[in-house]
Structure 1
Amino acid sequence: MTDLDDQLGDELGPIDYIVVEFPAGQTRLTGEAAAELAALAASNTIRVLDLMIVYKAEDGSIEVDEVEDIDDLGELAQIEATLAEVLAEQDLIDIAAAMDPGSAAAVLVWENTWAAPFAVAVRRNGGQLIASGRIPTQALIASMTNEGE
């Protein structure tokens, strides 16, 4: 069993990630977004497993800040204890390749703790996840808007 297994246990819910890019000059995950993320973690709806900020300079070089390296975490300070640090260096290099020069991106990995009891029950009954996906919000709104035409 790895350290990660010890940290997370066998009763995991589905794991998701997002990468949110901020243009130059808007490089902080603060304010309303930080408060919402902190509220989701505090309510045990999610467990934040990793949160990093990737900076891509104009020359293409990258710099990475882990949560514990960020000054003035504010409401996000409460999630620092739950971090399992699941992102690898190659993950961050791949993310930076998709970023615009001069931008920053928040990379968030979380467990959907609300779904853990269902996921555990499925695994105990021999089931396994064979497909997963997301429907972009914009695509759903567009399809609902076009239904009436």
Structure 2
Amino acid sequence: MSDVEVHGPIDYVLLEFTGNKLTGRAAEEVVSLVDRGIVQVYDVMVVGKNTDGTVYGVDLAEATGEAGSFAALGGARSGILADDDLAEAANAMRPGTLAALIVYENTWAIPFIAAALESGGELVAGGRIPAEDVMEALDALESMESTS
């Protein structure tokens, strides 16, 4: 198994921001995750959707203002994201918003995956529960416990 390159799971997120809510904090946290070796960013694409529905991509090398906060991630271009991904991301967006599409590897999982593979383990299923669903479920449980 040692001659096989092991990777962690690859995820993507599309973070949509309206108005002046893009403060740079999300980009700072992604950079922090990279610096701590928790994730490796493969691709970042910033997409805008005007109120009339027209879509535009933001060149992170030239980005200023709201999109400029993701400029530190501008060098992340593995080729996993293609131009058609910009259109697909825009379809999920509301008019008048700006979004960051980020593809990243969960590098924290590499030692776990390597150990599982070396032990003869095989991934047979996986999935992701959106953070909003988890927070909603925990809030509901907390509400039920407080009324008991």
TM over 0.5: yes
Judging changes above 3 Å, is the alpha-carbon distance between structure 1 residues 97 and 81 closer, same or farther for their aligned structure 2 residues?
closer
**Alpha-carbon shift at residue 105 of structure 1 (Å):** 0.6
Judging changes above 3 Å, is the alpha-carbon distance between structure 1 residues 106 and 81 closer, same or farther for their aligned structure 2 residues?
closer
For 2:123, the equivalent position in structure 1 comes to 128
**Alpha-carbon shift at residue 71 of structure 1 (Å):** 4.6
Is 1:57 aligned to residue 57 of structure 2? no
Task: Write the distance in 1 (CA, Å) between the matches of 2:49 and 2:70.
Answer: 25
For 1:15, the equivalent position in structure 2 comes to 10
Larger Cα-atom Rg: 2
Match of 1:37 among 27, 30, 40: 30
TM-score, normalised with respect to structure 1: 0.75
For 2:93, the equivalent position in structure 1 comes to 99
Judging changes above 3 Å, is the alpha-carbon distance between structure 1 residues 81 and 120 closer, same or farther for their aligned structure 2 residues?
farther
**Alpha-carbon shift at residue 41 of structure 1 (Å):** 0.7
For 1:111, the equivalent position in structure 2 comes to 105
For 1:5, the equivalent position in structure 2 comes to none
Tell me the number of residue pairs that the alignment of Structure 1 and Structure 2 aligns: 138
For 1:141, the equivalent position in structure 2 comes to 138
**Amino acid across the alignment from 1:112:** N
- Specify every segment of 5 or more residues in structure 2 that has no aligned partner in the other structure, as ranges: none
**Amino acid across the alignment from 1:131:** G
**Amino acid across the alignment from 2:31:** A
Task: Write the distance in 2 (CA, Å) between the matches of 1:43 and 1:95.
Answer: 28
**Amino acid across the alignment from 2:39:** I
